Structures are given as structure tokens and as C-alpha cells.
Amino acid sequence: MALAGTNAAAPRPRASRMPARLDLLESGTGLLLALFMLVHTLFAASILLGPEASATMARAFEGYYLFGRSYPAIVGAFTTLIVLMFVVHAVLAMRKAPSGWAAYSRFHGNRGRLAHADTTLWWWQVVTGAVVGLTATIHLYHILANPGGLGPYESAQQVWSGRMWPLYLVLLPAVELHVGIGLYRLAMKWGWFEDDRSTRTRRRLKLAMWGLIGSYVLLGLTALGAYAKLGYEQALDPSTAPAMHAP
């Protein structure tokens, strides 16, 4: 029992490290998913080099050149890992978004008064994250349900005959915006560059961000057009779609 009149300060409770750990996990999964998406877009764009080049990439992902035959289960296992990271990242990111109409109204009002560019970028990341969460779930489910459909002709049939191209028209710009803004915000948050708080550095990072977003959206839309064209040709003449998976 403490004596009356003593000046002994009560010990301060130790601050929890959990918020920082969750932030680190959110950033880590976001970075891995962003790098995966950049590589994924390049892989999908291999169709621009021709169906055979795209088929070669598909066989490589299925382990054909390592094991002597294709194993679609490799694609399924890797996709499952991506789904797990996707879910963890989404759950952690949602805890920072406005949780109701009142919270959204306060945020929107403050954003309008402050006119802070980085806050607006954060809001666009929330919006694109919601769009990606919906559309990417459909895309990932299709891959998990059909891991052997990674080849160019299978993908083209999915895009055109499967009527998936409207989904990809929404998913593609949303995910590239989310990735580009996310990488910019990670660089600012964790101080990846010297003097990253300066106006000059922010301007350079934003130029790099918009350049990355613009080039990847253009590349992705061009590849989507190539898949749609190939799928249309397949629909007219199914004989143009040879079996692309090696036995």
C-alpha cells in the first residue's frame, strides 16, 4: 500500500508492439503481392510474342522443364499460397479503412479540407483494394478450380468464349493502380530512399509511380486484346487451338 504524500510515479504500462507487427505484416504481404503482380503481368504479356512463347512459359510454371512432364498441381499450390497472402493482406488493410458511414463522412470532409495529395492516394488505394478484392477472388477461384488451364489457348478461350474479358477490364487497371500506389506509400512509410520526406523525392517517386502504372496498364490491356483476338479466332475455327500441354 502506497504511503500518502509520496511522489513515487506509478509505472507506465508497456505499449503493445502488436500494431507495429501488424503493420509490418501488412507491408510485407503487400510488397510480395505487388512484386508477384508485376511479374504476373509480364508473364501474361508473353502472348504478345506468340502462343508458343506463352505456352513455353506455362510449361515452365508447371515444372515441365524440371521434371520432364507438366504438373498443374504446382500451379494450384502456388495459387493457394497467393490466396493466403491475399486474405491476410486484405484483412490487415481493412482495419484502417472507414468502418461506417459516420467514419467515412468525417474522413471525406477532412480530406476535402486538407487537400493532401498523399491522403487522396491512400483513399484511391482503399477503393482499388475493394475492387481488386472482388474481381481477383473470381480470378483466383477459376485458377484453383482449373490449374491445368494456364496455356495460351486455354486462357484465350476463357477470356473470349468464357466472357471473362469484362472482368479483366475492371481488374487490370484497378490492380495496377493499387500496386503502384502501394509501392509508393511503402517507400514513403518505411524510408526506402535517402531524404524521402523532401518535396523533390516525393515528386520523383510519384513520377515513377505513374510511369509504372501507365506502362503496366498499357501492357496488360494490349495482352488482354491479344488473348481476346486469339479466343475469337478459336471460336471461329477450333482447329486453331492445338493441345499445348506436353504429356
Q: What is the pLDDT of residue 102?
A: 79
Say how far apart CA 246 and CA 56 lie, in whole Å.
10
Say how far apart CA 31 and CA 34 lie, in whole Å.
5
Q: What is the pLDDT of residue 51?
A: 93
Q: How far is CA 201 from CA 113, 144, 181, in A?
A: 25, 41, 15
**Residue 71 contacts residue 61 (beta carbons within 8 Å):** no
Q: What is the pLDDT of residue 196?
A: 53
What the chain holds in terms of domains, given with CATH numbers, is: 20-240 (1.20.1300.10)
Nearest-10 crossing angle of helices 199-236, 152-160:
90
Q: What is the pLDDT of residue 10?
A: 59
Lowest mean pLDDT among 22-36, 134-148, 173-187: 134-148
Q: What is the pLDDT of residue 214?
A: 97
H-helix or E-strand spanning residue 47: none
Say how far apart CA 35 and CA 216 lie, in whole Å.
13
Share in percent of the chain as helix, strand, coil (round to 5):
75, 0, 25
**Residue 69 contacts residue 60 (beta carbons within 8 Å):** no
Closest to 172 measured CA to CA, from 108, 219, 242: 219
Nearest-10 crossing angle of helices 18-44, 199-236:
50
Q: What is the pLDDT of residue 156?
A: 93
First to last CA, the chain: 80
DSSP label at residue 148: T
Q: What is the pLDDT of residue 198?
A: 73
The arithmetic mean of pLDDT across residues 5-9, rounded, is: 54
Say how far apart CA 134 and CA 64 lie, in whole Å.
32
Nearest-10 crossing angle of helices 51-61, 72-94:
80
Say how far apart CA 60 and CA 245 lie, in whole Å.
11
What is the model's pTM?
0.83
The arithmetic mean of pLDDT across residues 211-232, rounded, is: 96
**Residue 189 contacts residue 27 (beta carbons within 8 Å):** yes
**Residue 110 contacts residue 104 (beta carbons within 8 Å):** no
Q: What is the pLDDT of residue 244?
A: 45
Say how far apart CA 130 and CA 90 lie, in whole Å.
9
The arithmetic mean of pLDDT across residues 219-239, rounded, is: 91
Q: How many C-beta neighbours within 10 Å does residue 246 have? A: 12
Residue 163 has pLDDT above 80, yes or no: yes
Residue with the bigger pLDDT between 223 and 11: it is 223
- Rounded to the nearest integer, the mean pLDDT of the chain is 86
